[in-house]
Amino acid sequence: MVTTNRFDVLIIGSGAAGLSLALRLPDHVRVAILAKSNLEEGSTLYAQGGISAVTDPQDTFESHIADTLDAGAGLNKPEAVRFTIEHAPAAVDWLVNLGVPFTRHNHAGDQDSFHLTREGGHSTRRVLHAADATGRAMETTLVSEARRRDNITLLEHHIAIDLITAGKLGLADNRALGAYVLDRTRKRVSAIPARTVVLATGGASKVYLYTSNPDTSSGDGIAMAWRAGCRVANMEFNQFHPTCLYHPQAKSFLVTEAVRGEGGQLRLPDGSTFMERFDERGNLAPRDIVARAIDHEMKRLGAEYVLLDISHRPAPFIREHFPNVYSRCRELGYDMTLEPIPVVPAAHYTCGGVITDMYGRTDLDGLYAVGEVACTGMHGANRMASNSLLECLVFGTAAAEHIGSNSVPRPPNISAVC
């Protein structure tokens, strides 16, 4: 067992939550970020839709709050919902200042305003996006900024095995002291001490055979927190995204909800529509309602998939708004400008997780959790579309401000016991 250099903050996970937290910490704070694979690889990279925020003068916080509570079946924590939504515009401004290329209107006199799309559960257009690859635009921008910071050490191909805690070492005043980490390149385990540990490991959707998430979404952070004595909650609320492309070579390729937001229709194999029979909002009902409706129809008919049809929109519009989805479909033999594409629901988001407060603090001193790994109360029984990247940013900021403003005692020299 090797003990490495100590850090002030050890962040396990390199998605939007972990990176935004790291970038918000003061420059004098020594930070290490662990990534299981390449730094960019994770759920953020594959997020297509966007980030929801009240930026239109005709929209309101109250409307966004009401939509979120409704989508979550009223099991959300209202204070967490309000906190997140009221801090959304500032989070968007921060991303814009970093250079995230959100799509803007391209017609005369309106080039400076964001193009807003609408997704399931939203009562109006409020989703900012970078074409249909918002997560990739955010992740690459945040990674680029992190690589520029002298106080941030990036440890790619490192897997956290378990948390180091005072209790496990037989010390008094139980708290997080760091983590045991496998260096996949050198094939050795190290103990990395840190004043503060942050779990930003994402969710657990990879436990399902069909999921929109990459291999990194294996529930590691939730398990580590549980073993350290932290409470977890709402683990039964696993969200299925209604529309993943049905193809043997693309079982995890998400088709963004914005396709339905821009007029896409769900159809049965015979071409008839069906969502109006399940919810008055039709194709733009919250994800849980749409996914259950699709599942019901597939089982009723013995069908392997349903169809998503946006071919009635002009081809240039489709290629401009959904370039990545269009390109991937073409690779697999589908042309969404001419025909419907086959889709099925797939596991997408873990609505529960490690219980935290409004600063991301868990039950264990010195341990924070942000992003999908956490249960802040924001989502309730079902996350509304494009509220996930928002939660990552808002709670990443809140945790960074709390960590930066509080002096945490240095961990003891643990090399003798590791």
Whether residue 30 lies in the annotated active site? no
Q: What are phi and psi of 16, to 5 degrees?
A: -60, -40
| Catalytic entry in 260, 287, 361, 383 | 287
Cβ-defined contacts of 180-185 (< 8 Å, 24+)? 180/418, 181/34, 181/155, 182/158, 183/155, 183/157, 183/158, 184/157, 184/158, 184/159, 185/157
| Tokens found for residue 104 | 């803007």
Catalytic residues: 287
